[in-house]
């Protein structure tokens, strides 16, 4: 396809799938996705794949898929930037009337797309697929996920629906709103809740990954959880202030108690234990809260640097994914 090609008249669904070391599953994923997309009546489609700096043959696989299909647009990041950044890069370059983001390991079944599209055609701006149960995940992952969602929902200003991960169809408006958010530490499922618009949910049962293994190491999960907490709430910072007041108040009350005993009973024995306990308590609380402040400060520092969030080492030559919008190399 060339850049001079006119935009098709039928509404266009553009899928965005990040891929990191998915060589064993990507061809299967593409086949199933294409079968579903071609069956959608009165809709055209494009597919954007973002290779997140894979070290296996994922990029070669994607390029050979794109060579035989002009609707496929392959982008490749200069290194592994992580799922949320790869997905954001895909959202930046994707153009269409509806933008559908999904994982490329078949845990987000393409067969759910017709129902999501139907809801979008009814006028919803955000159609989130909500996972019911997570059979493929380990007990530890299920428990930590449950604990995380209940924790973040206690703190966050916007509700973050458990199970509504990054399998989501966005209208043009919702897509533009999401792309207008410049932050570096991205927790997309929270951002999707934050933008508002008309939203609906479609339940689905997530199968285990079709092949390969999860790229979300416990470290990456922990980082995502931190991004969620520190990007979506200032409660920990406020908590620091309140807890500091409580601890200081307790210290003052203890001092009054000691003075009273000294004045009225005169039985004060110099208490090494209570002294050391107080010191440790205060020291601990202060260190924890200095750490919390540090987390926010580090994020402010990262944002003020204003670095691009990612670089492409390969961008789709075919320009139909971006034909009706100005092209950007990075955000
Ligand atoms: N992914 C990515 N970069 C990463 C890790 C994951 O692009 O650093 C992609 C991966 O290829 C998949 C999706 O993000 O399409 C979700 O990752 P994964 O299936 O490993 O996570 P899980 O489903 O186990 O949480
Ligand atoms: Mg997965």
- Tens digits of residue pLDDT in 136-189: 677 777 788 888 888 888 888 788 888 888 999 999 999 999 999 888 888 899
For residue 167, the CA-to-ligand 2 centroid distance in Å is 11
Measured from the CB, is residue 19 less than 6 Å from ligand 1?
yes
For residue 77, the CA-to-ligand 2 centroid distance in Å is 19
Of residues 54, 74, 62, the one with CA closest to residue 27: 62
- Which pair of structure tokens corresponds to residue 5? 């090609």
> C-alpha distances in angstroms, 153 versus 147, 158, 237, 266, 296?
10, 8, 16, 51, 19
Q: What dihedral angle (degrees, nearest 10) is formed by the CA atoms of 306, 307, 312, 317?
A: 40
pLDDT at 100 over 70: yes
Q: What is the pLDDT of residue 323?
A: 45
d(CA 153, CA 132): 18
Residues 6+ apart with CB under 8 A from 142: 134
DSSP for 271-329? -HHHHHHHHHHHHHHHHHHHHHHHHHHHHHHHHHH---S--EEE--S--GGGTTS---S
pLDDT at 118 over 80: yes
d(CA 52, CA 201): 28
Residues 92, 33, 87: CA angle, nearest 5 degrees? 25
Pairing of strands 44-51, 168-171: unpaired
Q: Against a cut of 0.95, is the pTM above it?
A: no
Ligand 1, pocket-test mutation among 33, 77, 215, 309, most atoms within 8 A of CB: 215
Residue pair 41/8 in contact (Cβ under 8 Å)? The answer is no
Count other Cβ atoms within 10 Å, centred on residue 331: 16
Q: Is 133 or 200 the better-scoring residue by pLDDT?
A: 200
Range with lowest mean pLDDT among 84-98, 103-117, 165-179, 257-271: 257-271
Ligand nearest to the CA of 145: 1
Ligand 1, pocket-test mutation among 16, 17, 20, most atoms within 8 A of CB: 20
């Amino acid at each position: 396809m060339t850049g001079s090609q006119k935009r098709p008249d039928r509404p266009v669904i553009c899928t965005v799938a990040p891929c990191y070391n998915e060589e064993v599953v990507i061809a299967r994923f593409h086949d199933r996705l294409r079968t579903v997309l071609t069956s959608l009546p009165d809709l055209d489609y494009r597919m954007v794949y973002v290779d997140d700096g894979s070290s296996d043959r994922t990029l070669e696989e994607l390029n050979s898929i794109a060579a035989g299909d002009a609707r496929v647009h392959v982008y490749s990041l200069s290194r592994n930037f992580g799922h949320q950044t790869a997905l954001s890069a895909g959202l930046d370059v994707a153009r269409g009337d509806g933008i559908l983001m999904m994982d490329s390991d078949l845990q987000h079944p393409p067969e759910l797309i017709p129902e999501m599209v139907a809801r979008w055609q009814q006028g919803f701006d955000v159609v989130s697929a909500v996972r019911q149960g997570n059979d493929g995940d380990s007990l530890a992952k299920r428990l930590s996920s449950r604990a995380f969602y209940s924790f973040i929902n206690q703190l966050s200003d916007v509700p973050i629906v458990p199970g509504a991960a990054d399998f989501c169809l966005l209208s043009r408006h919702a897509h533009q709103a999401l792309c207008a958010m410049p932050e570096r530490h991205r927790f997309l499922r929270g951002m999707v809740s934050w933008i508002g618009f008309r939203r609906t949910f479609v339940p689905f049962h997530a199968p285990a990954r079709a092949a390969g293994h999860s790229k979300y190491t416990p470290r990456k999960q922990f980082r995502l959880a931190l991004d969620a907490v520190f990007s979506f709430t200032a409660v920990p910072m406020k908590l620091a202030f309140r807890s500091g007041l409580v601890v200081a108040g307790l210290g003052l009350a203890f001092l009054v108690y000691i003075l009273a005993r000294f004045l009225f009973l005169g039985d004060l024995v110099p208490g090494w234990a209570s002294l050391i306990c107080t010191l440790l308590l205060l020291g601990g609380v202060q260190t924890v809260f200095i750490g919390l402040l540090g987390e926010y400060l580090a994020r402010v520092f990262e944002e003020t640097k204003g670095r691009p969030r990612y670089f492409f080492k390969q961008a789709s030559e075919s320009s139909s994914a971006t034909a009706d919008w100005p092209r950007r190399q990075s955000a």
